[in-house]
Structure 1
Amino acid sequence: MNQTTNLLTVAICVGEASGDLLGAHLMRALRQQRPDIRFVGIGGERMKAEGFESLYDQEKLAVRGFVEVIKRLPAILSIRKGIVNDLIRIRPDVFVGIDAPDFNLGVAQKLKAAGIPTLHYVSPSVWAWRRERVNTIVHQVNKVLCLFPMEPQLYLDAGGRAEFVGHPMAQTMPLENDRAAARQTLGLAEHIPVFALLPGSRTSEIDYMAPVFFQTALLLLKKYPNARFLLPAATAATRRRLTALLAQPEFAALPLLMTDKQSDLVCTAADVVLVTSGTATLEVALCKRPMVISYKISPLTYAYVKRKIKVPHVGLPNILLGREAVPELLQHDATPEKLAAAVSDWYDQPQKTAALQEDFRQLHLLLKQDTAALAAAAVLAEIPAKQNEQRPSEK
């Protein structure tokens, strides 16, 4: 027998660690406005800690690159078919796909066709490449929630609906960063060189980037013998992969501290950060730290992506500032020698760092909004008024 309930059900799907963090923030903001919410879908560790019911393993979706996705495509398609069927059965009041557009927009399209309101939280980088996607996205979802101020107009021009909600990291991270306090927390001396290594939040990124970053660290250690290196692990899976790589004899002597998450603390404590291109570059900027951005993917994926990119930079800080404020060393340029030289250039010229920090402070102010509350209000606004009535629950 079916029971009746007034419990509001919000379905959320995330594909990686950064989406998991956004999801956790969104859940807390939604509960502040509506305590009677059930959250279900695909989520990570942070969302589960908030009481999320994850029907599938989020880590299985955490893959980047054309070739890499092809390898896992059967498993990913199986999960997508499963979550669509599950959510059509559950009949949530609203669906929110957080980032992972290649997965989530397909889910949203099917749920929207089934009469479930849908939103996509975090616009794909349509301003950078494959801009024609905008015309499809506006039909797949009811509304797009954008993290950057230049994005909504693209959807409005295509006849869709979109809203700038700011970036949650700009809201949660302090405008002023205390390096001394961060070092004290991590047990690091104040006057030694400290470099942070952020090779990525996906295991597929780790495989490409971590060995190069560790080889770069060895070169930096030769130049700065008292240097220390910090390495935040985004997930349990990436920690296992990083630990296995560090067990190799060539890296055994690295004076390195690995942390569970805490990337903001790690970046704040560092003099310079070596970071894989992606959301993490913005986090480094909000920590007001100089960085060197790098990226390597399979040659086939790189050839495909390079033809599609419509902007001169790949790093978010450079894109948002409209110039190459920090160096980008990609693909064939992502060698330990070039990366070590670029990191050393920042460390040896503190006056350059001071100017960069002011640029990053202005960027922080631009992106600082009450993001989670704005996103939560937008999500609730898409739910039909009749959801407040008694309705059957799923079996």
Structure 2
Amino acid sequence: MVVRIAMVAGEASSDLLASHLIRALKRHLPDAEFFGIGGPKMQAEGFKAWWPAEKLSVHGYVDALKNYRELSGIRRSLLNRLLADRPAAFIGVDAPDFSLWLERRLKDKGIPAIHFVSPSIWAWRRGRLKGIARSVSHMLCLFPFEPELYRTAGVPVSYVGHPLADVFPLKPDQAGAREMLQITGDGPVFAFLPGSRQSELRNLADTYIATAAILHERHPDARFLVPLATRETRMLFEDALRRHAHVDLPIRILFGHATDAMIAADVVLVASGTATLEAALLKRPMVITYKIGKWSYRLMRRMAYLPWVGLPNVLANREVVPEVLQDAATPQALADALDGWLTDKARAAELVEVFTDMHLQLRQNTADKAAAAILPYLRGHA
């Protein structure tokens, strides 16, 4: 009997996570079929995308409201298809606002609903725990402090670690990355990561370029690497560069190669999100920044439980890297914070030790652990 597994993933990071899980499950169930909403990495593993992952890639409350009607229609259509032709299980990979609604209804109909990547209840919206408990058959957590929250709420839970910790080396090869990117000379190298969403580029591109201009004045031999994931985000950054055409900056836009850029860099400027964890696992000093719509920001700050937004600080339970956010994120403030890492070598060396301990804690062979937690729900279908 062919095991049929429905999945939803809505971000580039979720697409990667889900692709690793599909591969791990296929080692146990080589004939399994995977379908639903997913991205190119999942499709490369044989996933059938009924809708593309980017349909779910919205940014903040305001953006979600603008797209509510379309997203609601997709979700209802997907539910009807799954109830008409029942899968052995449903796996929602992140995208909690979309997937938990589905999971509750599928679980109520007797279809196991597994959620991979805990919503950030440890940071905000902790009141959602009761709703999550009603929605999921099993929660798979990436971070070690999360499972206890779910056990307290009576939710079956497994800590599986973070897949990036399995993939990234404990000691990245900076010299090799610079050789691959053809970076020579002794001047400082900055990696600027403004995000993967178009809305992030609209909010951050001009600030990043103005920050580079200040740093270039201080360090005339500095180089700036800007990896961008899509043609659309590249166009938005190039538009911003044209608005600053009066300033001649050594900015090099890369199509992809975010990991290589961070390894090659002395310091990273990064939008809050998974990229902050990537920078930590690559042992890079960083400054975290973010700008969103003012109403979304007010709502998020009002509902926040923790004083940090960046995963390195959350995992360390203290501020190990600066967070310069929203109105405070001026080019001057960002340049000063980035410069601080160049001048304080002892602080940068201490950070490497912190990040190495973090890496070891998160290295758990995630895909295999997640697959092992899911397989019991597929018994009787194999």
- The 1:243–1:56 alpha-carbon spacing in structure 2 relative to 1, beyond 3 Å, is farther
Cα RMSD after superposing both structures: 1.6
Name the TM-score, length of structure 1 as normaliser: 0.93
1:283 is matched with 278
Of 182, 203, 206, which aligns to 2:201? 206
2:71 is matched with 76
- The 1:247–1:90 alpha-carbon spacing in structure 2 relative to 1, beyond 3 Å, is farther
Deviations 1:179-223 (A, max 9, x none): 100111111115221111111122222211222112211221221
Of 292, 298, 304, which aligns to 2:299? 304
- The 1:33–1:237 alpha-carbon spacing in structure 2 relative to 1, beyond 3 Å, is farther
- The 1:243–1:107 alpha-carbon spacing in structure 2 relative to 1, beyond 3 Å, is farther
- What is the 5 A alignment of 1:51-62? 51-62=46-57
Is 1:118–2:113 an aligned residue pair? yes
Counterpart Cα distance in 2 of 1:191 and 1:304:
44
Is 1:382–2:372 an aligned residue pair? no
SS state at 1:95 partner: strand
Tell which deviates more after alignment, 285-294 or 199-208.
199-208
- Asked whether the equivalents of residues 213 and 247 of structure 2 are also in contact (C-alpha less than 8 Å), the reply is no
Residue type at the aligned position of 1:319: V
Counterpart Cα distance in 1 of 2:332 and 2:97:
35
2:18 is matched with 23
Is 1:268–2:251 an aligned residue pair? no
Residue type at the aligned position of 2:227: P
Counterpart Cα distance in 1 of 2:239 and 2:54:
18
SS state at 1:132 partner: helix
Q: CA deviation at 1:83?
A: 1.8
1:12 is matched with 7
Counterpart Cα distance in 2 of 1:251 and 1:91:
60
Name the TM-score, length of structure 2 as normaliser: 0.96
1:135 is matched with 130
Q: CA deviation at 1:252?
A: 7.3
Of 351, 356, 366, which aligns to 1:361? 356
- What is the 5 A alignment of 1:133-172? 133-172=128-167
Tell which deviates more after alignment, 175-184 or 260-269.
260-269
Counterpart Cα distance in 1 of 2:23 and 2:171:
25
- Asked whether the equivalents of residues 172 and 282 of structure 2 are also in contact (C-alpha less than 8 Å), the reply is yes
SS state at 1:311 partner: coil
- Asked whether the equivalents of residues 5 and 87 of structure 2 are also in contact (C-alpha less than 8 Å), the reply is yes
Q: CA deviation at 1:251?
A: 7.8
Counterpart Cα distance in 1 of 2:368 and 2:241:
41
Equivalenced residue count is 382
2:337 is matched with 342
1:227 is matched with 222
- The 1:35–1:241 alpha-carbon spacing in structure 2 relative to 1, beyond 3 Å, is farther
SS state at 2:254 partner: strand
Counterpart Cα distance in 1 of 2:70 and 2:348:
45
Of 328, 336, 345, which aligns to 1:333? 328
SS state at 1:83 partner: helix
Counterpart Cα distance in 2 of 1:92 and 1:190:
56
Counterpart Cα distance in 2 of 1:186 and 1:221:
20
Q: CA deviation at 1:68?
A: 1.6
- The 1:220–1:26 alpha-carbon spacing in structure 2 relative to 1, beyond 3 Å, is same
- Asked whether the equivalents of residues 189 and 222 of structure 2 are also in contact (C-alpha less than 8 Å), the reply is yes
Q: CA deviation at 1:115?
A: 2.2
- The 1:93–1:249 alpha-carbon spacing in structure 2 relative to 1, beyond 3 Å, is same
- The 1:251–1:359 alpha-carbon spacing in structure 2 relative to 1, beyond 3 Å, is farther
Give unmatched runs, 5+ long, in structure 1: 1-5, 389-395
Counterpart Cα distance in 2 of 1:237 and 1:132:
37
- The 1:243–1:106 alpha-carbon spacing in structure 2 relative to 1, beyond 3 Å, is farther
- Asked whether the equivalents of residues 2 and 381 of structure 2 are also in contact (C-alpha less than 8 Å), the reply is no
Deviations 1:298-334 (A, max 9, x none): 1111111111101121111111111111100111111
Is 1:292–2:287 an aligned residue pair? yes
Q: Work out the percentage of aligned pairs sharing the same amino acid.
A: 47
- The 1:41–1:237 alpha-carbon spacing in structure 2 relative to 1, beyond 3 Å, is farther
- Asked whether the equivalents of residues 103 and 113 of structure 2 are also in contact (C-alpha less than 8 Å), the reply is yes
- The 1:78–1:211 alpha-carbon spacing in structure 2 relative to 1, beyond 3 Å, is farther
- The 1:61–1:241 alpha-carbon spacing in structure 2 relative to 1, beyond 3 Å, is farther
